[in-house]
Amino acid sequence: MAKPEFKNPFRPGAGQMPPYLAGRDEETEEFKRLLRQDTILENMVLTGLRGTGKTVLLETFKPTAISVGWLWAGADLSESASVSEDTVALRLMTDLAIVTSSMVVAAQEEPGFGFNPQRSVVEQKLNYDALIARYKLTPGLVADKLKRVLEDVWTELKRRGAKGMVFAYDEAQNMSDHPHKEQYPLSLLLDVFQSIQRKGIPFMLALTGLPTLFPKLVETRTFSERMFRVLFLDRLSDDASRDAISKPIKAAAGCPVKLSDTLVNRIVNASAGYPYFIQFICREVYDVALQKLDRGQELMVPMNDIVRKLDADFFAGRWAKASDRQRDLLRVIASLENCDEEFTVHEVVQASKNLEKPFGASHVNQMLAALGNAGLVYKNRHGKYSFAVPLLGQFILRQSE
């Protein structure tokens, strides 16, 4: 009899649901608390470095919200969605229409004609065309038009017993205002939701993005500091990391792969508890283990080779964005003991003094701004900088070696 084929349960990839979601109970409970608000006083910002599972966790919140009577609308926020105030309004109405398009708001009988004299009933639904028509017919600015649409939609949803609606948007750090074009799409989004929430309409924003997101919101509208509850996703604890590694294999009935405690600890250390790295390394380990078993060989995991593959797949593309001089600066940062936490311009300047061409403070500031645009570093609200990519410092040191 042929052996059953065991499929690799681990799925590294952008937004891919892991076989077991470990270590996010506190964030889930906090989201449930936000859903219990009678009046929306706090919206949600879910933030963290790339690879911490923001998109995945947001997806798990959707059934949680629906199960207690909330509706859910949302999408990824690309740069094109915030080109203008009209485009962000269009984004909201497009997502809203998916939820409301089946709702009949009026029905009208029409007489028959010719050989079909029977009357027919024409239903008017709250679909995309109906939302756009209300938007265009409302006088005033874009904000006035959008508020009217949202208020009218809530009237219909309330009649049907809905508790509220979550507007969930991933990659929200892509949104920004464009003063040089006199377009303020991010300000529009914040102003409209603050306004309708003050009227008691339970429409809640749930935004996810890189750590630059919340400072951008506060810079755009100072009231954002009081408008959002920020949940920062960090690396998993050692225990949660072990669960993310071991439980998917234990859950596979008859799975021939057994990982020793020593190997599990090696994976925990190599991944540093970042969910994407756990998925990536475990996928490789699982494939190696199956091949070794088929050949009757002892399981010896080439961890260094797996890390090199991770470097090529995850880090190399980001490293390629940096110029030679920027790489010199990144190497200086990677040499700092606190490179994986926070660092200051002064620390970087001091550490560069041993270079043939040391960096001055103004030069470091300019280059960090450029590296921020490239998605390699970010500046937090306390004026300090951090790598925007987890374990980037270790990768840089490996390149230097």
Task: Please state, in angstroms and as integers, the Cα–Cα distance from residue 80 to each residue in 182, 190, 210, 308, following that order.
Answer: 16, 18, 18, 35
Cα 386 to Cα 369: distance, rounded to the nearest angstrom: 12
- Prediction pTM value: 0.87
pLDDT at position 337 over 80: yes
pLDDT for 212 equals: 87
Domain ranges of the chain: 25-101+141-233, 238-301, 321-400
Q: Which amino acid is at 29?
A: E
Q: Which CATH architecture has domain 321-400?
A: Orthogonal Bundle (1.10)
| φ/ψ (deg, to 5) at 78 | -85, 170
| φ/ψ (deg, to 5) at 122 | -105, 120
User: In CATH, what class is 25-101+141-233?
Assistant: alpha beta
Cα 175 to Cα 178: distance, rounded to the nearest angstrom: 10
Q: What is the pLDDT of residues 271-318, one digit of tens each?
A: 999 999 999 999 999 888 877 665 555 566 788 889 999 999 999 988
Rounded percentage of the chain residues whose pLDDT exceeds 90: 64
- Between β-strands 120-125 and 104-110, what pairing exists: parallel, antiparallel or unpaired? antiparallel
Mean pLDDT (whole number) for 316-331: 92
State the SS3 of 224-280: HHHHEEEEEECCCCHHHHHHHHHHHHHHCCCCCCCCCHHHHHHHHHHHCCCHHHHHH
pLDDT band at 1, cuts 50/70/90? Answer: very low
Q: What is the pLDDT of residues 100-110, one digit of tens each?
A: 988 877 655 55
Q: Which SS3 state, helix, strand or coil, does residue 350 take?
A: helix
Q: Which SS3 state, helix, strand or coil, does residue 189 take?
A: helix
CB 60 within 8 A of CB 206: no
Q: What is the pLDDT of residues 217-263, one digit of tens each?
A: 999 999 999 999 999 999 999 999 999 999 988 876 667 778 888 88
Residues β-bridged to residue 166: 72, 204
Cα 195 to Cα 99: distance, rounded to the nearest angstrom: 22
Q: DSSP for 355-378, please give it.
A: SSSPPPHHHHHHHHHHHHHTTSEE
pLDDT at position 330 over 50: yes
CA torsion, points 115, 116, 117, 118, in degrees to nearest 10? 160
pLDDT at position 112 over 50: yes
Cα 94 to Cα 128: distance, rounded to the nearest angstrom: 7
Q: What is the pLDDT of residues 38-88, one digit of tens each?
A: 899 999 999 999 889 999 999 999 999 999 999 999 888 877 788 899 999
